[in-house]
Each structure stands twice: as structure tokens, then as C-alpha cells.
Structure 1
Amino acid sequence: MSTTGRQIIRRTLVRNRLSVTAGTALICLHQVCETAIPLVLGILIDRGVAGKSAVALLVSVVALGGLFVVLTVAFQAGMRLLNVALQQEGHTLRMEVAGRALAPAGLKTDLSGGELLTISSSDAEYASWFLDLFPRMAAAATAVIATAVALLVINLSLGLIVLISVPVFLALLRAATPLITRRAVAQQSRVAKATSMAGDLIAGLRSIKGIGAEAAASRRYAQASASALDATLSTVTSTSLQRGVTTAISALIAATIAICAGWYALTGRVTTGDLIAVAGLAQFLIEPLTLLSATPATVAKARGSAERIAQVLSAPASMPDRGGLIPDGGDVRLHDTGHRSLRSIDLDIPAGSLVAVFAHDRADGDALAAVLSGQLPADDQTGRVSLGGVRLTEIDRDAIRTHLIAEPHVTDLFAGTLAANVAAGADCDPERISRALAAAAAEELVADHAHGLDQQLHDRGRNLSGGQRQRLALARALYTRAPVLVLHDPTTAVDAVTEQAIASGLVTERHVDHTTVVITSSPTLLAVADTVVVLRHGRVEQVGTHADLLTDSRDYAEAVLR
């Protein structure tokens, strides 16, 4: 279902309608009281001071005190209602975006993980601003109308100045809003991309240094940052020009009213009290007009955020509801399957086997890993993939996640205990965790720390080495005991001795009872596999044991043993 930014805004206002209505009424009451203060001061001067009436003076003072009490209470109560609603709505929008991004059905979108993070945090906050913007705009409009009415009562021509000039002022605001909105949306998108890229580069800094790609990474980020800077400057330029013009107009309106009132006082057309009231109203008028002049930029930012939230909420599921079938067995079959560089491959992986896949071209291995993950949208691949004799497109979505676990090459850990990272949401069984860690050659993570399984990890496991993170991720995959496990280059960050221990652990934990597919170029892992599948140019080139392939295929031997 398609969702627009306008719908997000409308929904935000509707579900907070009680708080917004009450808060807006109170803020408008505050503005009416603010407008009444200069009028009461004018009465105090004309009747209390000039008229020398103690009663009028006392009544005016009491009225002023009452106005200040009402406007203070109304403002505090109104802002409290609106701020509570704003914070709650920001939380609701954050949960909606995060829930959509983390839904089991996945999200088919070009947005990166960093952009989704920005939308679920900053944009969710900005979109909720309408709960504050709408009441402020209503209050500003109330202040302008109340001022115009008060001036009309004092002098018709003074009121007409407001009634004529304010529509011109608002027309200028309306004309500038679409341009500012477009530029604000472009700015937020480019800034989010630059932020996302920065996060990705920092997360992969060790790998970038390892391949000597610092200069290329810096150039890419510099280009993204420059693009974000251009968009920001364009937005700021438009906003500053609009605010400068509207601020000048609001000051001109106030000055015109004050000058006319002064002339009328000199010619006897208004009283001294009226002059003081008009001067106060003219000065007061600047505040709501200034607020209105700043509105387009704020509305543009909030509208842009709402559009980006709508982009996430309306994105289709990458894995829509499938059939409700449950796979029976752990065999995996690919028939005429294609994805990215893969070209109509056929592959039969028997249940209970340990199959290694060696790809001469890394792209082929990456594509196969994506296919075997079971997470690809149906229109992103061709052919047929089945698990336990049932096509993936007909298997219940939750059943796929239970029967098929694919541990990607680049994995993330999370802040928490070591045990929680291995169990990953499942019940923590210390004995099972220890077995999984042993099979992943990661026992020292427990043995070398006094807290053992309760050892605390930083976000993304930053207090571990690359090899430790990789082995812990492998232990997490092994802990699931899924009928089918797909591993993608699980030993690239470990030494040869550790790699041999991991190969033995895989055989011990997974052989016979479970199906395991390892996409790797490691001779050690290839050697323990029942079968090795060789991919070249997107096709299955050879199938055999590691020993036979070393003997029969010179290309394979040279590629594996180099």
C-alpha cells in the first residue's frame, strides 16, 4: 500500500487530535491575552491616569494581573500537552520505521542501513514537529487577527493596514514554500547518504586499511559530503532569502502602523492611551509575523522527513507472504537458477551432507550465498530453489528462518553479554553455547575472561579482534542447530591452526544430522567437505571431492593452493 508524506502528517495530527486541539486552544488563548495587554494599558492611561480615576486605575491593574496569570497558565499547560504529544509521536514513528525495517518479511528498498537508521531517528523526530507547528501557526494567526480587530476598534485605517498587508505577506510565504520543500528533501537525502557512507567506512576501516584503499574511500566520502554541502547551501540560501524578505516586510508593517498612530495622536484623531496601545500592538505584531516567516523552512524540513518515512512505510516486502508449507528434510536443490552473475545453475545438495563451494569469481560466490539465504525477492532470481522438497516460494516464512540459517561473510555483533550474542534471542543453554564456541574454536573468549559467558561486548563487538568476532558469529550460527546452514567465507580472519580446528568442529557438530554449505576458498575447509562444487563464469564447472579435483583439475589446484 502506497503511503505519502501528506498521509503521514494527517495521521500524526489525527491520532493526537485531542492533545493538539486542547494545546492549540490554550496557546491561542495565550496570544489573545498577549494582544489584550496593550489595550488594557491604553485604558489605564486614558481613564486611570489622564482621567484621574482611582477606580479605573485599580480595575486596569487587576485586569493586567489577571491577564498575566491566564496567559502564563495557558502557555504552560498548552506547551506541556503539545510537548508530551510530540515526544510520544516521535517514539511511535521511530517504532513504526524500525519495525518495518526489521520485519521478518524484509524491505525492498534502495535505502542503505545508515539511511534507515537516520529515518528511524532524526526524520521520525522532525516529522512529529507538525504537532508543534500547527498550534504555533494557529496561535500566530490568532494573534494577527486579534491585533487587526483591536486596531480596527481604535482606528479603521490602522486596522486596514494589517488586513491589507498580511495577505501579501502570507502570499510571499506560500510562493516560497514549494521551492524550499524540494531543496530540503534533497538536502536530507544527500546528508543521510553521506552519514550512512561515513558509518560504513568507519565500520570497515580495518579492511580498508588492509587493502590500501584509504585514498579511494576518502574520495568517495568527499564526493558524497560535497554533494550534501551543495544541497545544504542551496536550502540555506533559499531559506535565508525568504526569511530576510519576510522579516523586512513584518518590520515595515509594524513601523507603518506606529508612524500612522503617532501622526493621528498629533492631529487628535487618537488619544494618548490609544497611541500607547497601538505602539504595543505594532511591536507585538512582529512576533507572530516573524514566526510565520520561519514556518516554511521548518515545514519543509518536517515535510521532507515525512516523505522519507512514507518511503519506508510504503516500500514492498522483499519476502511477501508465501505458502504455508513446511519443508520435510534438509536437502537443497537449485534448478535452472540465476541471480546476478549466476547463469541457470543446477545444484543438488543431499540432506546431511557437508558441501563446499569454490568460486573462481568472487561474484559467483556472493550471488550463490544470496540465493541460498532464502531472503531474495522472487523477482530477483530465476529458476527454482527448493528446501526439503518444497519450493522456497511455497514455504511458510517463519519456517524458512527455522530450517535455513545463512551466516553472511560480513556479520555484526551487538552490545550485551557473550552468551546473549551466541544465543541471539533464543534460550541460553550454557552447555550448548560451550559446544558451539568449541566448534568455532572460540573457547578462549570464555576461558580468558573472569566473567566467562557474562563478558560484556561493545556495540558490534568492537572490544574483540576481527578473528574473534568472526568466530563468535560462527558459534552463533552453529548454536541454532538449523537443519540447513549456509556459511560464507567463515574463516578469512583466522590463522591456519585455528582454521583447522574450525574445520574439525564443523564436521563434529554438523555432519550426518545436518546439511551444511560452505562457500569458501580455504583448502582446509574444502578438504573436509563431502563434495566440492566449482563455479566459473556463473556456472557449475566441476563437482567432486577436494582430493580428486586437485588431481584432475590443474586450474582448481592452482587457484586453491596458490
Structure 2
Amino acid sequence: MNILWRAIARNRWRLLAGCLLIALHQACETFVPIVIGETVDLAVATGSVSRLVTWVGLLCLLFLLLTTAYRNGARQLMRALADESHALRLEVAAKVLDPRAEVRTGDVLTISTTDADHASYLLDYVPRIVGALVATAVSAVGLCLISVPLGLVVLLGTPLVLIALQRAAPRITRRIATRQEVAGRASSVATDLVTGLRPLRGIGAQEAADTRYREVSGESLRATLLAARTQGLFQAASNSISALLAGGIAILAGWFALTGRISAGELVTVIGLAAFLGEPFGTLSAAPGWIATARASADRIADLVGSSPAPAPAGSPPILPATGECLGVVAEADAAELVGRYDDGSPDVLVAPHHPELFSGTIRENIVLSADRELDAVLRASSADDVVDAHPDGLDHPIAERGSALSGGQRQRLALARALLAHPRLLVLHDPTTAVDAVTEHSIARGIRDLRHRPGSQLGTLIVTTSPALLAVTDRVVMLRDGEIVATGTHASLAALDPAYRAAVLR
């Protein structure tokens, strides 16, 4: 997937308008020293007031035109850049939200921010390069009209400089890609360490974790410095060459003026153009580095967006609850794989995984997707009302990233409340109460039953668990071994008659 070409294609009209307007702006800026030189020769040297007023008026019109062109061109390009950056972030987010995606958190952070920005900046680079080429071409023509040797210096020197500088682009691309890759790895390690800080303290592994982060952070620093050094050397070389080229033109013009080959006004024009050419020369010489940066970031985005997700667990769900049924499933092994078979993306099915995800925000924002009259009932059914009541600000209590300030049981209850509030036709729960105490577990089991399986309910609930409290409120329990049903019945009957079931559940 060529991210850069696609960015140009889907922003082509704004990009075209921006290129034309920026090119007009640069052309007008090029004409400014030309008009000033003509004013010196045709108005100042002759002492004609009328000509002076005419040329000054033309100069004012040039400034008005170049200002208007730049303002409108920049508006078009900034809108295209912002839209493209937003579109890239949405693509990255959509890929990451795929439950089967295998992406490091740090990579998501750097790709969705730095890389998305760098790739979309191409829409700013293209018109700047076009404008610089127009300015260089107009300047070369103007210089040729004054002196052919001066024009040839620009026409021949500019391509040679660009070709020489282009040889450094692949190295810049590689080093920037390495920098972003290592930075993503460092962010991933930092995220993992912050998330697992409590367990690390519990087992006394803080020093080992600190050492690991120092190593990857040091590697990231070295890669960043190497990339910055490469870019700095490239920028220094491009600026030096641009200054030497512009300075050479000015020196040659001064010699021509001393020998009488050009007039005073033409000297003013050449000096003005030489000073102005520093900007387009700088832009053209820096362009290979810009493109290399955008390409490195685009390649990382393409690798993520174009990656194949992890294969879905093989096979269809082995069993589904009947309409209105609460079904318990005891899987002796591979319960997570079993749960994954139900996650087919259907809007009628909601799979609540064993490890819940909470986000920075308030309790309300983590649970309520829209106004719901049953919020209080859901909070009671999941025992999340205790979590809400434990804080003075209730539902508006702020939650840290991933709910790191909450206990495991509190996170489970809030995630269960969110799942219950969604009212899916089929709700699949995977061990939703492993981090709560026995009394709370019994309360949650009864709450799920009462909320989703009232008389006449058409909702189905499937609970993959070995919890006796949860299995006791189900209508039916199915026991699986190697994906095959080996026993079925109520919790009470299986507990009384099936030794394997008792061994799996009553531990």
C-alpha cells in the first residue's frame, strides 16, 4: 500500500489549488526584485515622477497578489493536511480495534501521532517544492535576460545540487524508520511497566524492570541522536550549498556591473534575486530529507494497516443458548480460544473478555454509551454500585488509564456493568468474577440472572466459567473436552453425578 501516493490522490483538488496558489505567490515574489530593478533604471535614473508612481503602484499590486495567493493557498493545504492526518489516525485506530490485531501499544502511539503527521506533511512539501521550482525557473529566465552566464549558473547548478543531495535520502529514511521503531518499543515497555507496577512491586522485580526500561530507552536515545545527526548534517550541507550558489551569483553580478556589462538597475535585480533564491534553493535542497522522513513514516503506517490479523479461532461456536436461556459452559482447557469463536463481529453478540479494558475518563464515560433508564439496575446487578458509592463524586469519579488505580475486582465489576448495559441479544461472559470475593460473586450471579432472564425475556447469556456461584444460576450447563460435549445438565445434577465435573468446578 503506497500511503504517500494515496494521500496525494484523495486530496488532489485541494493539493492542486494549493500548488497553483503557492506557485503564483513564489512567481510574484520573484518579480519583486525585477520590478525594483526596472524602477531604478526607468524611473529613478531618468527622474520621471510618473514612471516612478507607475512602477511603485505595480509593486504594490504584486505584494497584494502574493499575499492573497499565499493566504488562500496555505488555507487549502492546511485543510488537506489536517484531513489526511485525521484519516490516517482513523485507519490506524480501526486496525488496532480489531480484536485479532497484534500490535504493540508503543507502536500505536508513535504511528498514530508522529508517523501520521510526518506522512501527511507530504501535502505541505509538494506545493513548497513546486513553488520553489517555479521561483527558480522565473529567476533563471530573468537572469538570462540580463546575462546568459548568470542564468546558466541557476539552470545548471540547481539540478546538480539536487542530484548530489538526493544520494543521502535512503540513509535518512533508514535511520528515521529505525528511530520510530525503537521509540515504539520503548513506549510499549513503559506502558507494560506502568500497567504491571503493582505485581512488579509484589514480587520485588522493580530493579529488573528499571534495568529493562533503561536499556530500551538508551537504545531509543541512540537511534534518535543518530537520526538527528544525519538530518543535521544533511541540513547543514544543503544550507551551505544554497548559500554558496546564491553568493556566487551575487559576486558574478558585481563583477559584471564593475565591467559595465550590466546596468545599476540590473545589478539591483540580480542582488535581489540572489538574496531571494536562498529560500527556493534551501527548499529544493532540503526536499530529499523531507521526502525521506515522510516515506519512512508512510512505510510504518502501511506495515501496520496492511498487516494480516491473527487468524480467528478455528471452528464455529460449539453450542449456543436457546432463546431466553442462561447457559453455563465448563471448558477443561482453552477457554479463551472457545470464547474467541463467538466474537464474529455480529451486532447481536457481545463478548466480554476475561481481562477487561477501562479507559481514562470518568466511571460514567466507561460504562454509559448513551442514556439508559436501567443504569441503576445494571449497577446493582454487577455490584458496581459499591464502586460508585465508594467515591464522593460517584459516576463522575475520574479513572486513570486502564483503571490502574482500581482493584481487579472493581475493574471487573465496571466492565460487567458496561456489558450488561449494552443489552445484546447474546452476551458471552468469560470468568467475570475471578477477582471478587465470594459474597459479591453470589450477588453478581443473581444480578445477571434477574436482569437478563426475567419472565418472557428473549435474551441469551453464555457464561464460560468454573465458578459454582455463576453456574448455579444457569438453566443448563455444558461441559466440553477438546471442543466436544462430554456432559450436559443442571449444575446440581452434574455436581452430584459427574466426578469430572466436580473435579473441575468444586475445587
Aligned pair partner of 2:96 in 98, 101, 104 = 101
Alignment of 1:285-434 (within 5 A): 285-318=277-310, 329-330=320-321, 352-355=326-329, 368-374=334-340, 397-399=344-346, 402-403=348-349, 405-413=351-359, 415-418=361-364, 421-422=366-367, 425=369, 428-430=372-374, 433-434=375-376
Change (3 A) 1:295 1:408: farther
Q: What's the CA shift for 1:517?
A: 1.7
User: Match of 1:45, SS?
Assistant: helix
Q: Please give the alpha-carbon distance, in whole angstroms, between the structure 2 residues aligned to 1:291 and 1:416.
A: 47
Contact 2:360/2:401 (<8 A) preserved:
yes
Structure 1 vs Structure 2 CA RMSD = 4.0
Q: Which residue of 1 aligns with 2:409?
A: 467
Q: Please give the alpha-carbon distance, in whole angstroms, between the structure 2 residues aligned to 1:214 and 1:533.
A: 41
Q: Please give the alpha-carbon distance, in whole angstroms, between the structure 2 residues aligned to 1:551 and 1:276.
A: 97
Q: Which residue of 2 aligns with 1:334?
A: none
Moved more, 438-447 or 147-156: 438-447
TM-score for both structures, normalised by structure 1: 0.75
Contact 1:503/1:528 (<8 A) preserved:
yes
Instruction: Check if 1:59 corresponds to 2:63.
Output: no
Q: What's the CA shift for 1:504?
A: 6.0
Residue-by-residue CA offset, 1:211-251 (whole Å, 9 max, x unaligned): 33222222222222222222222211221222222221111
Unaligned runs of 5+ in 2: 455-459, 488-493
Q: What's the CA shift for 1:531?
A: 7.9
Q: Please give the alpha-carbon distance, in whole angstroms, between the structure 1 residues aligned to 2:452 and 2:76.
A: 58
Instruction: Check if 1:263 corresponds to 2:262.
Output: no
Q: Which residue of 2 aligns with 1:253?
A: 245
Aligned pair partner of 1:196 in 188, 208, 211 = 188
Contact 2:339/2:464 (<8 A) preserved:
no
Q: Please give the alpha-carbon distance, in whole angstroms, between the structure 1 residues aligned to 2:498 and 2:118.
A: 62
Q: Please give the alpha-carbon distance, in whole angstroms, between the structure 2 residues aligned to 1:488 and 1:50.
A: 93
Aligned pair partner of 1:491 in 434, 437, 440 = 434
Q: Please give the alpha-carbon distance, in whole angstroms, between the structure 2 residues aligned to 1:428 and 1:322.
A: 37
Moved more, 199-208 or 174-183: 199-208
Q: Please give the alpha-carbon distance, in whole angstroms, between the structure 2 residues aligned to 1:66 and 1:403.
A: 66
Contact 1:184/1:304 (<8 A) preserved:
yes
Alignment of 1:536-547 (within 5 A): 545=495
TM-score for both structures, normalised by structure 2: 0.82
Contact 2:186/2:220 (<8 A) preserved:
yes
Q: Would you say how many aligned residue pairs link Structure 1 and Structure 2?
A: 491
Contact 1:403/1:482 (<8 A) preserved:
yes
Unaligned runs of 5+ in 1: 332-350, 359-363, 376-391
Contact 1:261/1:278 (<8 A) preserved:
yes
The aligned amino acid for 1:15 is: R
Q: Which residue of 2 aligns with 1:345?
A: none
Change (3 A) 1:526 1:180: same
Q: What's the CA shift for 1:38?
A: 1.3
Change (3 A) 1:413 1:85: closer
Contact 2:105/2:187 (<8 A) preserved:
no
Aligned pair partner of 1:211 in 180, 203, 207 = 203
Q: Please give the alpha-carbon distance, in whole angstroms, between the structure 1 residues aligned to 2:300 and 2:92.
A: 10
Q: Please give the alpha-carbon distance, in whole angstroms, between the structure 1 residues aligned to 2:466 and 2:142.
A: 80
Change (3 A) 1:534 1:81: closer
Q: Which residue of 2 aligns with 1:9?
A: 4
User: Match of 1:485, SS?
Assistant: strand
Change (3 A) 1:271 1:374: same
Q: Please give the alpha-carbon distance, in whole angstroms, between the structure 2 residues aligned to 1:183 and 1:519.
A: 51
Q: What's the CA shift for 1:320?
A: 7.6
Residue-by-residue CA offset, 1:84-120 (whole Å, 9 max, x unaligned): 22112222222233233335xx454x42234224323
Contact 1:440/1:502 (<8 A) preserved:
yes
Q: What's the CA shift for 1:153?
A: 0.9
Aligned pair partner of 1:235 in 227, 234, 241 = 227
Contact 1:407/1:474 (<8 A) preserved:
no
Alignment of 1:105-116 (within 5 A): 106-108=99-101, 110-116=102-108
User: Match of 2:103, SS?
Assistant: coil
Q: Please give the alpha-carbon distance, in whole angstroms, between the structure 1 residues aligned to 2:473 and 2:321.
A: 19
Q: What's the CA shift for 1:139?
A: 0.6
Q: Please give the alpha-carbon distance, in whole angstroms, between the structure 2 residues aligned to 1:303 and 1:162.
A: 29
Residue-by-residue CA offset, 1:235-273 (whole Å, 9 max, x unaligned): 112212222222211111112111111111111111121
Contact 1:474/1:490 (<8 A) preserved:
no
Q: Which residue of 1 aligns with 2:123?
A: 131
Contact 1:30/1:75 (<8 A) preserved:
yes
Identity of aligned residues (%): 40
The aligned amino acid for 1:329 is: L
Q: What's the CA shift for 1:352?
A: 4.8
Q: What's the CA shift for 1:127?
A: 1.6
Change (3 A) 1:141 1:552: closer
Q: Please give the alpha-carbon distance, in whole angstroms, between the structure 2 residues aligned to 1:551 and 1:64.
A: 93
